[in-house]
Amino acid sequence: MRISISINGVKHDADVEPRLLLVHFIRDLAGLTGTHIGCETSICGACTVLMDGKPVKCCAILAVQADGSEITTIEGLADEGRLHPIQEGFWECHGLQCGYCTPGMIMSAYGLLQENPDPTEDEIRHGLEGNLCRCTGYQHIVDAVRHASRQMAAKAVKAG
Amino acid sequence: MSFLAKYIGQKVRRTEDPRLIQGIGHYVDDIKLADTLHVVILRSTHAHAKINSIDLEAAKSSPGVVAVYTGKDVEGRVGFVPCAAALPDLKVPKYPVLAQGKVIFVGQPVAAIVATDKYKARDAADLIDIDYDPLDVVTDPEAAVQADSSVIHEEFGTNIAFHHSAGTGDIEAAFKQADRIVSEKLYHQRLAPVALEPRGVLAHYLPGEQQMTLWSSTQIPHLMRTQVALMLGINENRLRVIAPEVGGGFGSKLNVYAEEALLGWISMQLKKPVKWIESRRENMTSTIHGRSQSGTVEMAVKNDGTLLGLKYQVIADMGAYLQLLTPAIPTLTGLMLSGCYKIPAISMQCTGVFTNRMSTDAYRGAGRPEATYLVERIMDCVALELKMDPVELRRKNFPKPEEFPFATATGLFYDSGDYEKSLARALEMSDYQKLRAEQSEARKQGRYLGIGVSTYVEICAMGPSIALPAGGWESATVRVEPTGKVTVMTGISPHGQGEETSFAQIVGDMLGVDMDDVLVIHGDTSIVQYGIGTFGSRGLAVGGAALACALDKVVAKARKLAAHILQTDESSLTFENGRFVGAPNDSSITIQEIAQAAHTAHNIPPDFEPGLVATHFFEPKNFTFPFGSHLRGRGRQGDRRGQGASIYRR
Ligand code: FES
Ligand code: FES
């Protein structure tokens, strides 16, 4: 099947088998390997990307289902080399160790902060429960998202 | 040497993070080589079965398939999966990389399918028809030692892999003198380590150069190089192992697996890069498991709570085969049976048994958390039996700070400790007396409030070479480049621990250079001198010590050249913040200037070897013994937040 998917603003046209997973389209055809695979069964969240602005686990979506959609991956988050506040938050608050869960965590946090710009600790934990991390014990991830939410609020005030 | 701690102990942002938070680092599966073939491994669906036949015809003619291999193909060509642990009378079964004639655990590799893409390889795997004859399965380690149990390795005639005794002191006398003996049966359940990045291997053999590069998600690239070279019968120096970004290990990647040698061998056959990425299901069945001990612990005590002796009789589940350190894990439990306490006599009797399950091996603490659990549990049981406060019982048996180094009946010397202090701090932070008062109040109202207390000590910084099969030292090379930039090559292989940062902090302070001028290279056996790797809480403690020693050598060499250039005595010079000062004429010279002078070699003393580089192999004299206390109250309504405390000292 011929499909066309826009990833981080770049259009990718390809003839794919209907069974091709979106995560493989992103990693193998578009060559964007920041989206990781930790389970291929929609459990770990390592493969989380934004599909038309909403976080999805792209190991559980077929590429053909994403035909015509806009995908944002971790590589597309920084703005002209300037880190996104969520990326800054993870860096500043030691929100990662091995970094394997990190792209998915950041994309899920992005979705969470869009819906709830000022989440409490409990809301962050609940909002990220679809993402597993084996290294950090989560506390610093929560701190990172809190940090990001404050930075984003400060920015919004400035911009407003 | 003196330095100002500009970096050490300060909060710095990690050097590793920019690539990781932007998704532009490279884990094994992110490395793409042209013409790579993909390998899928078909695994046993039986825990114990004879293989009558394997029909590969359909798979071989499936689209995109390049080759299919089974046990017959590798027999005599690829060596067995190695076990490095040495115990007297240990029975080591031959562990083929692909099953030969029978399978003995679910997940054992049976066939390798190589195809032009992973979907096609997977399709072909589904077309392989294996005729199995199921045999009796032994999954319960306690049943495995029974006379009527089926035997997994017929050549041994038993499922017992080894007996191991540990401990010293007159244990029988201790138990005779005891006012009471408290005992408890404990299970440490089997678990799967589950690093978030599964294992993966990319192998690329170049027949012209007769060199192979093997990328693997591993904690031990050098040890793997040695072992895989032996398995493949190639020279170690022609094999380059690279541990790229590694997505967590927790001990599960402190191993040499069948797939690493198998992929190397396949690449040699097909003369193409070949890649295998473990699925999560494979990770659950075919990457080592942890724990799995069942044992009885007995404590001999006096009525006043004085501990006299501890016995631990345990069956340790090895699984079907022995992986790299499988039998060594329960011996670590044996070493730590004294916990934080003075126990004059200790005896462990351990029986290692084979079962039809994946091998156990090192997982987070590797035998040591088992010891903490059983010692702390029996302490609580003793307190209950003696109607003593569990805190008092612990306090009564702590060695005092002045008793360190403290010799345990398990043969260790705890270097230092103040267990009383850490416990006191936890009691204070959690307001222990108040918690106890609330607890008895709650009981009166028919409610339960649990209070858990635990103190622990761990054996870390693995370790003196005598304690580890391949040695326990670590290596570091420091190379100051002509421009004054500093390159560190470390033998450890961090996978999340952050030593690219912490080592740069050490270099920054000890050489007085900017942290950003430091590059820490690890995990590539062609670049880095031989090293041992990252596990057993050793990266900073042993690898960092090697680095500090190498830096001392660099500064000593630089001092020679500085004295020559400044025309003074070495002894008159002080090295401060990257600069040699103190020459009589008030002149000084920076480490960067020295580096340049050492490379141009136009103005050096006659016996001075050009360049500014030093390597150190650091052999630790002992382990380290960090300790801590945990205390928490918990009611039916949930956690008593703010009433818990964890105190650590590392
Ligand atoms: S890889 Fe998609 S959820 Fe785990
Ligand atoms: S940082 Fe390793 S899994 Fe999250």
Domain boundaries, chain A: 2-76, 85-159
User: Do the chains contact at A135 and B280, CB–CB below 8 Å?
Assistant: no
Phi and psi dihedrals of B206, rounded to 5?
-105, 105
Centre of ligand 1 from the C-alpha of residue A58, in Å: 7
Instruction: Considering chain B, tell me which residue range(s) the CATH 3.30.365.10 domain(s) occupy.
Output: 161-192+288-461+625-649, 473-618
Which overall architecture, per CATH, does domain B473-618 show? 2-Layer Sandwich (3.30)
Q: State the smallest CA–CA distance between residue B505 and chain A in angstroms.
A: 16
Q: CA of B459 to nearest chain A CA: how many angstroms apart?
A: 21
Minimum-distance CB partner of B21 among A31, A46, A90? A90
Residue B614 bridge partners (DSSP): B478
Q: Is the CB of B469 under 6 A from ligand 2?
A: no
- B13-B14-B18-B24 Cα dihedral, nearest 10 degrees: -170
- Which of B437-454 are b and which e, b meaning 16 or more Cβ less than 10 Å from the residue's Cβ? ebbeeeeeeeeebebebb
Give the predicted TM-score (pTM) of the model: 0.95
Cβ A44 under 6 angstroms from ligand 1: yes
For residues A27-35, average pLDDT: 98
DSSP3 helix / strand / coil % (chain A, rounded to 5): 40, 15, 40
In ligand 2, the atom with minimum distance to the C-alpha of A105 is 4
Select from B14, B20, B21, B119 the residue whose CB has the most chain A CBs within 10 Å, as the one to mutate to test that interface: B21
Distance, in Å, from the CA atom of B34 to the CA atom of B204, rounded to the nearest integer, reads: 11
Would you say the CB of residue A117 lies under 6 angstroms from ligand 2? Answer: no
Helical pair B368-386 and B390-397, crossing angle rounded to 10 deg? 120
Assigned fold of A85-159:
DNA polymerase; domain 1 (1.10.150)
φ/ψ of A49, rounded to 5, equals -135, 170
Sequence-distant (≥ 6) Cβ neighbours of residue B478 within 8 angstroms: B486, B487, B488, B507, B547, B550, B551, B553, B554, B613, B614, B615
> Between A155 and B257, whose confidence is greater?
B257
Residue B462, phi then psi, degrees to nearest 5: -60, 125
Has domain A2-76 been given CATH number 3.10.20.30? yes
Task: Quote the DSSP letter at residue B460.
Answer: B
Question: Do A158 and A141 touch, CB atoms closer than 8 A?
Answer: no
Instruction: Look at residue A157 and tell me whether its pLDDT is greater than 60.
Output: yes
How far is C-alpha A145 from the geometric centre of its chain's CA atoms?
13
Compute the distance from residue A50 Cα to the ligand 1 centre, in Å.
Answer: 14
Scan for tokens 């000022």, then name that residue: A118
Instruction: Answer yes or no: are the C-beta atoms of B361 and B251 closer than 8 Å.
Output: yes
Over the stretch B324-366, which tens digit does the pLDDT of each residue have? 999 999 999 999 999 999 999 999 999 999 999 999 999 999 9
Residues on chain B touching A34 (C-beta within 8 angstroms) = 22-24
3-state helix, strand, coil in chain B (%, to 5): 30, 25, 40
Minimum CA–CA partner of B26 in chain A: A33
Which residues share a beta bridge with B647? B629
Which fold is adopted by the domain B161-192+288-461+625-649?
A: Aldehyde Oxidoreductase; domain 4 (3.30.365)
A116 pLDDT higher than 70: yes
**In testing the pocket of ligand 2, which one of A133, A139, A140 has its CB within 8 Å of the most ligand atoms?**
A133
Residue B648: the pLDDT is 54
**Which positions of chain B have pLDDT values less than 50?**
1, 638-643, 649-650
Q: Measuring from atom 4 of ligand 2, which residue has the nearest CA?
A: A133
Return all residues near B631 (Cβ < 8 A) that are at least 6 apart. B426, B427, B429, B430, B432, B451, B452, B453, B454, B644, B645, B646
Average confidence (pLDDT) over A55-64: 98
Q: Which chain A residues have a beta carbon less than 8 Å from that of B30?
A: 27, 33
Q: Which CATH architecture has domain B31-135+194-286?
A: Alpha-Beta Complex (3.90)
**Angle, to 10 degrees, between the axis of helix B499-511 and the axis of helix B544-566?**
30
Per-residue model confidence as pLDDT tens digits over A78-87 = 988 899 999 9
The verdict on the CB of residue A85 being under 6 Å from ligand 1 is no
Residue A155's pLDDT is what? 85
Q: How far apart, in whole angstroms, are the C-alpha atoms of residue B512 and residue B591?
A: 8
Answer yes or no: do A98 and B279 touch at CB < 8 A: no
Of residues A19, A103, A135, nearest to B248 (C-beta): A135
